[in-house]
Amino acid sequence: MVSPVLFWIIAAITVIPALSLLFARKAVHVAMSVVLVMVGLATAYVTLGAPFLGMVQIVVYTGAVMMLFLFVLMLVGVDQREDLKETIKGQRWIGLFTAAGLGAFLVSVVGRVSIAVADTPAVGEPDVVAIMLFEKYVLVIEVLGFLLITAAVGALVLTHTPRLRPRRTQLEVQRDRVLVGADPVNKPMPGVYARHNALDVPALDPQGEPIVHSVSRVLKVRSQTQEGEEFRAALEDPSRKEGDR
């Protein structure tokens, strides 16, 4: 028999996070709540004498399936807004009523049933499950193998995008850069070549002039740069030390 305390804990950590499917705004929150539901269900499996299935549940659902959901969420953008206009009039109330009716119907029917519980629980240890899977249900396992391969190939086909334009090679990129008159080589690094070892100081060319474009554009926009004049003055007047500024 199952301890009532354990049952109520499992009920709490499955039903309450599952409600976020209906009420949470952000899809990421929903995904994380469903992860919690899956952990709760794994606990229930272990409680009901299916330790192997419980572990598989954690590995497959919380580890693989829900993380796949999160990957897809990141791919399509976490900020996808849900449009709230109803295409079918009163769809929300019809849906809520139907689902609540289904729940009430199932609970009332199941609540009326009484089945004698077996005295000796069948514990689904891995070896027991394996013998069952590969003796009695070996054909089903083969069919499931076909199904998994088909699903993998199907996913590849569905997400495949054919290349519409030929690939641009490095040679073509370089040729285009020269044709538009861009710098054929890298820009000079800031500060490090002259007297300073800092990114916010422009490099000095051999004549001692600051090279303006050696400092990152971003620093200029944030006005976090230093002008080269002070350093040039220090160069021209050796008596003045740089630390005086």
Partner 1 sequence: MDPINFVILASILFAIGAAAVLLRRNAIIAFMGVELMLNAANLALVAFSRIHGEIDGQIMAFFVLVVAAAEVVVGLAIIIAVFRARQTISLDEPAELKG
Site for partner 1 in 147-176 (CB under 8 A): 147-148, 150-152, 154-155, 158-159, 161
Please tell me whether residue 233 binds partner 1 under the rule CB under 8 A. Answer: no
Judged by CB under 8 A, the residue of 69, 193, 199, 230 near partner 1 is: 69
CA atoms of 170 and 149, how far apart (whole Å): 37
CA atoms of 10 and 37, how far apart (whole Å): 9
8-state DSSP, 60 = I
Q: Are 51 and 103 in contact (CB under 8 A)?
A: no
Write the interaction track for partner 1 spanning residues 117-136; mark x where CB under 8 A is met and - where it is not. Answer: xxxxxx-x---xx--xx--x
Judged by CB under 8 A, the residue of 63, 74, 76, 227 near partner 1 is: 76
Q: Are 57 and 42 in contact (CB under 8 A)?
A: yes
Q: Which is nearer to partner 1, 25 or 217 (CB)?
A: 25
Q: Which is nearer to partner 1, 145 or 208 (CB)?
A: 145
Q: Which is nearer to partner 1, 89 or 217 (CB)?
A: 89
Judged by CB under 8 A, the residue of 74, 138, 140, 189 near partner 1 is: 140
Judged by CB under 8 A, the residue of 74, 107, 138, 198 near partner 1 is: 107
To partner 1, the closest distance from the beta carbon of 163 in angstroms equals: 15
Structure tokens at 128: 């027991």
CA gyration radius, the chain: 33
8-state DSSP, 190 = S
Q: CA triplet 30, 31, 32: central angle to 5 degrees? A: 95
CA atoms of 96 and 102, how far apart (whole Å): 10
How many residues in the shown chain lie near partner 1 by CB under 8 A?
A: 87
Write the interaction track for partner 1 spanning residues 32-51; mark x where CB under 8 A is met and - where it is not. Answer: --x--xx--x--xx--xxx-
Distances in whole angstroms, Cα of residue 58 to Cα of each of 25, 38, 71, 188: 25, 7, 18, 53
Q: Which is nearer to partner 1, 16 or 189 (CB)?
A: 16
Please tell me whether residue 56 binds partner 1 under the rule CB under 8 A. Answer: yes
Please tell me whether residue 137 binds partner 1 under the rule CB under 8 A. Answer: yes
To partner 1, the closest distance from the beta carbon of 82 in angstroms equals: 5
Structure tokens at 1: 């028999």
Please list every residue from 185 through 224 that binds partner 1, using CB under 8 A: none
Q: CA triplet 54, 40, 70: central angle to 5 degrees? A: 90
